[in-house]
């Protein structure tokens, strides 16, 4: 019995249309909504769609605040920048207040940026009771996460993730490139009201099957372990048919 709450769409276009509709609904809720975007290549299709569809003008962007699950320690105009990708594909094409974009400053000294990013989240995002309280963990309304073929998510990598910390941001490094990253911690991610793993393409199919089958290997996968920890909250997987091809 799979322990994954997943939705399979015929193709990636249908996935991004469903995500766009969610953004529209969030934007109409009449309060600031805090959304954390995933990095890597997968979300580029979502950004391009939002910039070019009628959603670009229908979504009330002034009600949406965008953050990132992680950022590479590079300048914002570097092609590897998660923020830089979203800016080029989406933010430069819509009307959204600059103060609603909460990028991680990848160009800055990483230890100092972890502190700054942490403080900005505590100062800006209410906890799960809707209170802005320094001591309480911020509760994102919606966190979009990707997954690597090794089961990592954000910049939380197998064997290199601290699941016990109560910090909300941390320094990480890519296991192969050793590139430094700033990442949200498992503790913060798990405090979200909604987590959507956006996973597309055949290359992710075998890892998804291991997670769905609770395979022993999946024990080490952060993408298998990071879920909303409160029962009332939602952890879900949005998959295209290629990514879901090995699932029952």
CB-nearer residue toward ligand 6PG: 93 or 174: 174
What burial letters (b/e) apply to 213-245, b meaning 16+ CB within 10 Å?
A: beeeebeebbbbbbbbeeeebebbbbbbbbbbe
CB of 72 to ligand 6PG, least distance (A): 6
Extended beta strands in the chain, E state:
6-9, 33-37, 64-68, 70-72, 142-145, 169-173, 180-184, 194-199, 234-240
Distance of CA 119 to the CA centre of its chain: 19
**Chain residues that interact with ligand 6PG, rule: CB under 6 A:** 38-42, 69-70, 82, 146-148, 152-154
Cβ neighbourhood burial of 65 (10 Å; 0-12, 13-18, 19+): buried
CB of 161 to ligand 6PG, least distance (A): 12
CB of 169 to ligand 6PG, least distance (A): 14
Q: How far apart are CA 190 and CA 225, in angstroms?
A: 9
CB-nearer residue toward ligand 6PG: 91 or 197: 197
CB nearest ligand 6PG: which residue?
A: 146
CB-nearer residue toward ligand 6PG: 55 or 180: 180
CB-nearer residue toward ligand 6PG: 96 or 198: 198
CB-nearer residue toward ligand 6PG: 27 or 66: 66
Instruction: Give the DSSP letter of residue 92.
Output: G
CB of 29 to ligand 6PG, least distance (A): 26
CB of 115 to ligand 6PG, least distance (A): 20
């Amino acid at each position: 019995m799979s322990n994954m709450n997943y939705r399979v769409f015929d193709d990636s276009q249908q996935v991004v249309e469903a995500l766009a509709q969610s953004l529209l609904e969030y934007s109409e809720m009449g309060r600031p909504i805090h959304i954390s975007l995933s990095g890597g290549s997968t979300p580029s299709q979502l950004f391009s769609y939002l910039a070019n569809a009628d959603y670009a003008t229908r979504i009330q962007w002034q009600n949406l605040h965008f953050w990132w699950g992680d950022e590479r320690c590079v300048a914002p105009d570097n092609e590897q920048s998660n923020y830089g990708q979203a800016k080029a594909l989406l933010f430069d094409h819509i009307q959204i207040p600059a103060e609603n974009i909460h990028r991680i400053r990848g160009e800055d000294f990483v230890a100092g940026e972890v502190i700054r990013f942490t403080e900005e989240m505590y100062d800006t995002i209410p906890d799960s009771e809707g209170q802005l309280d320094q001591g309480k963990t911020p509760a994102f309304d919606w966190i979009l996460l990707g997954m690597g073929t090794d089961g990592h998510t954000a910049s939380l990598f197998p064997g290199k993730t601290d699941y016990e910390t109560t910090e909300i941001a941390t320094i990480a490094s890519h296991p192969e490139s050793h590139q430094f990253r700033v990442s949200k911690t498992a503790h913060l991610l798990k405090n979200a009201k909604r987590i959507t793993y956006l996973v597309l393409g055949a290359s992710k199919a075998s890892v998804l099957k291991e997670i769905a089958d609770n395979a022993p290997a999946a024990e080490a996968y952060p993408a298998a372990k990071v879920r909303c920890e409160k029962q009332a909250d939602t952890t879900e997987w949005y998959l295209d048919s290629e990514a879901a091809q090995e699932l029952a």
